[in-house]
Amino acid sequence: MTDTHFFRQLVDHQFTAVIQLDDTLVVEHVNPSAELLLVRSGKQIIGQAFYSLFVNPAEIREMMMSAVSGGTTLSVRSAQWQLAHRDTLTLDYMVTPYMDVDELHLIVEMLPADRAMRISRDEGLIQQTETTRHLVRGVAHEIKNPLGGIRGAAQLLASELPNADLKEYTQVIIEEADRLRDLVDRMLGSHKVPTLSEVNIHQIVERVYALLRVECGDRIRLSRDYDPSLPDFKADEAQLIQAVLNIARNAVQALIENNVEAPAIEFKTRAVRQFTIRQNRYRLLVKLDIIDNGPGIAPEMMEKIFYPMISGRPTGTGLGLSIAQQIINFHNGVIECDSSPGATVFSVYLPLEGLNGQS
C-alpha cells in the first residue's frame, strides 16, 4: 500500500470534512464528510478550484493563498462561507500546507460550527427533558397517593349521608379528584410497553393528516411534500402518531387562535445522512418537518416549549410538546424547533437504524 493510498484511506474515515488541494488551490481529493458538507460528489469537486465552490471566491482564495505563501497553518473560527447553490455555512476551518516529493499541497479541515452548537443544544435539551420527567414523576406520585384517599373517603361519606342534596358536595370532590388524577396521568405519559413493528414515516404522517382534515375541515390548508425513497424502520406506530399529532395540533391551535390569514400547515419528509444525536452518529435518519405560517413562538419561550405545564397560549396545558419530545427521545431521536413570524418549523429526527439500534 502506498503512502498516498494509506493517507487517503485514513482521511476518508474522518468525521471532519477534509479536502486536499494542490498549490494552485485545485481540489485533488475530498473525503465523504466533505461531500456531505458541500452537497456535491467528489467527481463534481475534484479538478475544480476550491474557491469556485463558494459565492465569495476572492475572499476564500486570498485566505488559502496566505497559507501557501506563508507556509504555516491557518486556523479560523466561525467563518461564514456561502455555497454557490446552497445556504451559508458557519465553519471552523484549518488550512495546513505540507510537502510531498517537492510538491506543495494543502489540507483543508472543516467542521460546521452551527452543527456543533446544535449537538450541544440537543444534548442539553434531552437531559433537561429527562430531568424534568423524573421530577414530574416524583411529584405526580406524591399527588396521586393522597388523591386516592380523598376520593375513597368522599365515596364512604356519600354512602353515609342521609340527604341527597348533601351528596352533591361529595360528588364534586370525587369528580375533581378524578380530574386531577387524569391530569397527573397525562403528565406521566404513557405507561404502555412499546409495541415495535415495521413502520414507514409516511403512514404515520398520513394518519395525522387524515385526523386533521376531519378536525379542521377547510379552515386550514394542509399539504404534503414527501421523499418516497425513505425506508421502513422499527418503532411504536401509535406513539409516533401521538407525537406528530401533538405537534400538529399545537400548530392548528396557534393558527386559529391568532386568526392567521390563509392558515397553512405543511408536512415535509427528507433523508438526512451522518447526523449526531446525544453523541451517537447515525448514518441515515428521517427528518419530518411540520411547518406552519403562524405568528411564531416568542423568543423567551423557545428554551421552555418542551417543559411540561409551560405554554405560550392562554388555553394551552403545556403537555403536548413535552410528551412528544419524550416519545421521540425514546426512539433515539430528537425534536428541534426554529421559529420566526410567518414560519415555525418543528423538525423531528428519527434514526432509520430503528429503536435501540434495531434495523
Q: Is the pLDDT assigned to residue 226 strictly greater than 90?
A: yes
Q: Report the alpha-carbon distance of residue 343 to residue 339 in Å, rounded.
A: 6
- Torsion over CA of 277, 279, 280 and 282, rounded to 10 degrees? 50
CA nearest 333: which of 289, 249, 276, 295? 276
User: Residues 6 or more apart from 121 whose CB is under 8 A from it?
Assistant: none
Range from 156-165, 186-195, 251-260 that averages highest in pLDDT: 251-260
One domain for residues 350 and 204: yes
Helix intervals (H) in the chain:
3-12, 32-38, 42-45, 57-70, 113-160, 164-188, 201-216, 237-257, 320-330
214 and 274 together in one domain? yes
pLDDT digits (tens, 9 = 90+) for 255-302: 999 999 999 999 999 998 777 787 677 888 999 999 999 999 888 888
Helix (H, G, I), strand (E, B) or coil at 256: helix
Looking at residue 123, what is its pLDDT? 63
Q: Three-state DSSP class for 301?
A: helix
**One domain for residues 222 and 327:** yes
pLDDT band, residue 49 (cuts 50/70/90) = very high
Which of these, 272, 288, 270, 279, lies nearest to 327 by C-alpha position?
288
- Range of lowest pLDDT (57-66, 178-187, 218-227, 322-331): 178-187
Pair 308, 132: CB distance under 8 Å: yes
- pTM as predicted: 0.61
Over residues 61-105, the pLDDT tens digits come to: 888 888 888 888 888 887 888 887 666 778 888 899 988 878 888
Specify whether the CB–CB gap between 294 and 254 falls below 8 A: yes
Spatial CA neighbour of 250 closest among 335, 179, 181: 335
Entry field: residues in the chain: 359
* CA 165 from centroid of its chain's CA atoms: 55
Beta strand 233-236 with 221-225 is unpaired
Q: Do residues 93 and 221 share a domain?
A: no
Same-domain check for residues 85 and 123: no
* Max mean pLDDT range (175-179, 193-197, 205-209, 307-311): 205-209
Residues 91 and 166 in one domain: no
298 and 239 in a single domain? The answer is yes
Whole-angstrom distance, CA of residue 265 vs CA of residue 263:
7
| Statement to judge: residues 103 and 142 lie in one domain | no
Give the span between the Cα atoms of 130 and 135, in whole angstroms: 9
Q: What is the dihedral of CA 246, 249, 255, 256, to 10 degrees?
A: -140
Find the helix packing angle between 113-160 and 164-188, rounded to 10°.
160
Give the pLDDT confidence of 173-194 residue by residue, as tens digits. Answer: 888 888 887 777 766 655 566 7
Residues 230 and 87 in one domain: no
Same domain, 184 and 79: no
pLDDT at 247 exceeding the cut of 90: yes
SS3 118: helix
Residues 68 and 206 in one domain: no
Classify burial at 327, counting beta carbons within 10 Å of its beta carbon; exposed 0-12, middle 13-18, buried 19 or more.
Answer: buried
Helix (H, G, I), strand (E, B) or coil at 163: coil
Computed over its alpha carbons, how large is the radius of gyration of the chain?
Answer: 27
Task: Show which of 66, 96, 112 is a domain's final residue.
Answer: 112
| Single residue among 151, 171, 188 that ends a domain in this structure | 188
φ/ψ of residue 125, rounded to 5: -65, -45
The single-letter code of the amino acid at 149 is: G
**321 lies in which domain range?**
196-357
Least confident window among 41-45, 54-58, 88-92, 331-335? 88-92
Cα–Cα nearest to 336, from 357, 305, 294? 305
Number of domains composing the chain:
3
- Give the model's pLDDT for residue 263: 95
By CB neighbour count within 10 A (0-12 exposed, 13-18 middle, 19+ buried), where does 99 fall? exposed
- The residues, any chain, with a CB within 8 Å of residue 323's CB and separated by 6 or more, are 186, 189, 242, 243, 246
* CATH code of residue 261: 3.30.565.10
The total of other beta-carbon atoms located within 10 Å of residue 77's CB is: 11
Same domain assignment for residues 221 and 316: yes
- The single residue listed with the C-alpha cell 476564500 is 60
Specify whether the CB–CB gap between 36 and 274 falls below 8 A. Answer: yes
Query: What does the mean pLDDT of the chain come to?
Result: 82
Q: Which of 112, 136, 163 is the last residue of a domain?
A: 112
